[in-house]
Amino acid sequence: MLYIALENADFAWREEQVKEVDKLWKDGAPLDTIAKLMGRSTRDVFILIYDRLDTGKLSGRKGSIFGYLQEAVE
């Protein structure tokens, strides 16, 4: 049997969406807030951020995935 991890995940992102996620990340928004603002699952956003970090397009930040802006969306 072949198991395919994340078979139902949506890895497709438009350029403007990637730019917005990058901005929110740099601004310190928590992962769940970014997902809510983007209308995507936290899993999909996590995978995008992981990819951006892995390829050097984003840098690590204070607070990691939890961010440092608690009031990003109220």
Tell me, what CATH number does 52's domain have? 1.10.10
Contact 46, 10 (CB under 8 A): no
Q: What is the pLDDT of residue 72?
A: 47
Domain span at 44: 15-66
**pLDDT, tens digit only, all 74 positions of the chain:** 999 888 888 899 999 999 999 999 999 999 999 999 999 999 999 999 999 999 999 998 888 888 876 554 44
Q: What is the pLDDT of residue 58?
A: 95
Q: What is the pLDDT of residue 70?
A: 59
Q: What is the pLDDT of residue 9?
A: 83
Burial 15-49 (b: 16+ CB within 10 A, else e): eeeeeebeebbeebbbbbbbbeebebeeebbbbbb
43 part of a folded domain: yes
Q: What is the pLDDT of residue 71?
A: 53
The total number of structural domains that make up the chain = 1
